[in-house]
Amino acid sequence: METVRDDVVLSLVRGNITLEKTDAIVNAANSRLAGGGGVDGAIHRAGGSGIMEACRRIGGCPTGSAVITTAGNLSTRYVIHAVGPVYRDGRHGEDRLLAEAYRTSLELAIKTGLKSIAFPSISTGAYGYPIDKAAEVALETVTAFIKANKGLSLVRFVLFSDNDLVVYEKALRKL
């Protein structure tokens, strides 16, 4: 699914984020930037040791924030490591922290002069964030950001499963 919002292409696809050729891909990272499973592990494996070396130099990243590194062996130029919240019950600032992870990633992309960025569904794997709630937060945050900021031409969400894609498509139609 693809739409244009404020001169920015907003795209939803099912796929493997490590194969994206956007200027940057976003990694659903942990606060230690230590690699892990899911999207994080896939990006580190595909990108090689250069990404981990850059993460070690940075040292860490608080929940709700993001940092940018080299992309190592990936087809993209940069990896933006965004740390989303672990979902507890929705009453511990999870929505705010998730929105901040997306917003900080977008700010880093513009600050770096990037035109295109690809996101996974942050916090919906091991961190347990319900996909329907996460999709709403992600898409509302991204659409508000691109309305208020110029510089990007493409924001893509690369979803891991057919179900995730359907949930994101439904959330986008509601906006």
**Catalytic one of 6, 7, 23, 40:** 40
- What pLDDT, on a 0 to 100 scale, did the predictor assign at position 36? 85
* CATH number for the domain that contains residue 82: 3.40.220.10
pLDDT of residue 57: 96
So what's the pLDDT on residue 9? 98
Instruction: Give me the helices (H) in 15-115, please.
Output: 38-47, 49-58, 94-111
> In what side-by-side order are the strands of the sheet with 24-28?
2-5, 8-14, 154-159, 116-119, 24-28, 78-82, 66-70
Residues 6+ apart with CB under 8 A from 59: 33
> Which structural domain, as residue segments, surrounds residue 101?
2-174
Q: Is 65 in contact with 77 (CB distance < 8 Å)?
A: no
The answer to whether residue 40 is catalytic is yes
For residue 123, the model assigns a pLDDT of: 97
- Per the structure, the count of domains in the chain is 1
Q: What is the pLDDT of residue 158?
A: 98
Q: What is the mean pLDDT of each run of 10 residues along the chain (175 residues)?
A: 96 97 97 91 96 96 98 97 97 97 98 98 96 98 97 97 98 96
pTM: 0.97
Q: Contact at 8 Å (CB) between 62 and 117?
A: no
Check residue 48 and give left, alpha or beta (phi > 0: left; psi -120 to 50: alpha): left
Q: How far apart are the C-alpha atoms of 162 and 121, rounded to whole Å?
A: 13
